[in-house]
Chain A
Amino acid sequence: MNYIDKMHRWGRTWAVVTAGFIFAFPFALAILFNAWPDWGSFIKGLLAVAVTFWPVGIIEVITYTPMLGVGGTYLSFVTGNLSSLKVPCAIDSMDKAGVKADSDEGEVISTISIATSSIMTIVIIFIGVCLLTVFQDFFEQEWLKPAFDNVLPALFGGLGVVYLSRYFKIAVLPMTLMVLLFVFVPYLNSGMVGIMIPVSMVITLVYSRILYNKERKANGEK
């Protein structure tokens, strides 16, 4: 059995274990406090949330798995915060290590990066929770809010300029198109980004394929 096959086996085993613990948590609470849920409210609340987040979750699996690799996928769908942390972190690590995502080395770097990021996130939140009595007042100060409201612009500004300068030909069209769509289509708000990621990916890939075919034709390749 090669490493990738082993990773799939470990990944599935861990997925069953972690999902078991995660799903058991509310039932353990119910048993320990001898308080069973209000099933009617549960169904009502679940439907309101699941109608949006179940499809988004499935779309995320399809779109992010190729970028994260095997180990990264099994880990990041348990530890969460994919688009705002795990995917950019893994891509940045592979870039800095000079490895391709589809190579054996890329698989290693992506898994190390996502595992480290997951542990680091848990540690930082743990420290914060331990010191919450001190931090709560500090973090609730109004003047500090803009810094944390703008994490995504801060992250994607830095990453965007790198990718735009490096892959200008591929990036310029989808980036311009997405800006125009989000500015002029009022239905596209911040909640729609999960749906628009695969749309944007498909547009980019179709455009990349056209450029690639042109290049092959120019080089006389079949």
Chain B
Amino acid sequence: MFEFSLNSPVIFALVAIVIGVVIAQSVFFLTKAYKRGLELGMDKSVLNDTIKRSAIFTIAPAVAIFMGVVSLVKMLGVALPWLRLSIIGAVTYELPAAKNALEALGVDAITDARQYVTVALVMTFGIASSLIVAPITCKKITSGMMKIKDKDKRWMDLLMTGMFVGMLSAFLGYIVCDLGLVFEQVDGSKVLAFHYQLEHWIPVFVMAISAGLMAICGVLLKKFNWKWLNDYALPISMIGSMILAIPISILIKG
């Protein structure tokens, strides 16, 4: 038996094993898909470009995910947030899950192994549904999609586009959700308020800047035929607008 501390080497070792398994799965799928691509006659450069592009695309969101680790460290130590945010969880789930578990235990911070194990259990099983359901339903859903494709290919193309456009539309709503009619907590009770102040516009401004940068990239790509820009347009618009969010926020909030 080992003595408990939030940053015990034993926890780090266990976390490293679980993350190692997930890396092995990712490498396995990557290798199989790459080989399949070559079998299909796809150009090696297309496959390699996909790897390069996906790696670049991931940088900014992954740093933001790491920020989630930083925000959980004080509450849970380093090892558990490292595990939870490297696989499965997003901070939007992990933070409320940890807080709910601590609240159920009636403590503000973990002081012993029993509390730690309870919090780890809540965080693990609180989001277990997709981990269980995805392997059960994947075959059924993907074969259903193939049947639609065989019946009407044009509709299938439109269906896939429509699904992604639907997802984008919902996130557009998410970005503006702090504007307009919002419930506010005032003295412990919910009060309806109308938000129009500039500070609530910050995410909208960031989105507009990102869209603007993307449009500029598109114009440069067409005008000067800078094909390399095609790979970097999204990371440029993303990272550029994230950096500009800092002065915008300072200007508005002071």
Chain B residues with Cβ below 8 Å from A184 are 180-181
**Contact indicator B63/A148 (Cβ below 8 Å):** yes
Chain B residues with Cβ below 8 Å from A183 are 176-177, 179-181
Least Cβ distance of A86 to chain B in Å? 9
**Contact indicator B163/A193 (Cβ below 8 Å):** no
Count A interface residues, CB 8 Å. Answer: 156
Q: Can you list 23 A-B pairs with a CB-CB distance of less than 8 A? A: A22-B124, A32-B10, A50-B129, A65-B137, A87-B164, A97-B46, A111-B30, A112-B37, A112-B50, A113-B54, A115-B30, A120-B58, A124-B66, A156-B210, A163-B164, A174-B169, A184-B181, A186-B181, A186-B183, A189-B177, A200-B167, A204-B163, A208-B162
Least Cβ distance of A9 to chain B in Å? 10
**Contact indicator A117/B58 (Cβ below 8 Å):** yes
**Contact indicator B130/A60 (Cβ below 8 Å):** yes
B1 at interface by CB-CB < 8 Å: yes
**Contact indicator A74/B204 (Cβ below 8 Å):** no
- A83 and B138 CA atoms in complex are apart in Å by 18
- A36 and B120 CA atoms in complex are apart in Å by 12
**Contact indicator B114/A38 (Cβ below 8 Å):** yes
**Contact indicator A66/B163 (Cβ below 8 Å):** yes
Closest A residue to B102 by CB, please name it.
Answer: A45
Give residues 37-70 of A contacting B (CB, 8 Å). 37-38, 40-42, 44-46, 48-50, 53-55, 57-58, 60-63, 65-67, 69-70
Counting chain B residues whose Cβ lies within 8 A of the other chain, the interface size class is 35 or more
**Contact indicator B51/A28 (Cβ below 8 Å):** no
- A170 and B191 CA atoms in complex are apart in Å by 37
Known: A93-B54, A204-B162. 18 other contacts (CB 8 A): A3-B39, A4-B142, A17-B25, A22-B87, A37-B121, A38-B118, A79-B22, A96-B50, A108-B33, A113-B50, A124-B66, A128-B66, A135-B66, A151-B238, A156-B175, A161-B211, A186-B181, A193-B177
Give residues 141-188 of B contacting A (CB, 8 Å). 141-142, 145-146, 149, 154-183
- A182 and B157 CA atoms in complex are apart in Å by 28
- A212 and B250 CA atoms in complex are apart in Å by 47
Closest A residue to B149 by CB, please name it.
Answer: A102
- A14 and B21 CA atoms in complex are apart in Å by 9
1/0 contact string of B1-15 vs chain A (CB within 8 Å): 110100000110011
Option from A45, A87, A118 in Cβ contact (under 8 Å) with B26 = A118
**Contact indicator A87/B167 (Cβ below 8 Å):** yes
Option from B54, B129, B139 in Cβ contact (under 8 Å) with A117 = B54
Chain A residues with Cβ below 8 Å from B213 are 158
Least Cβ distance of B154 to chain A in Å? 8
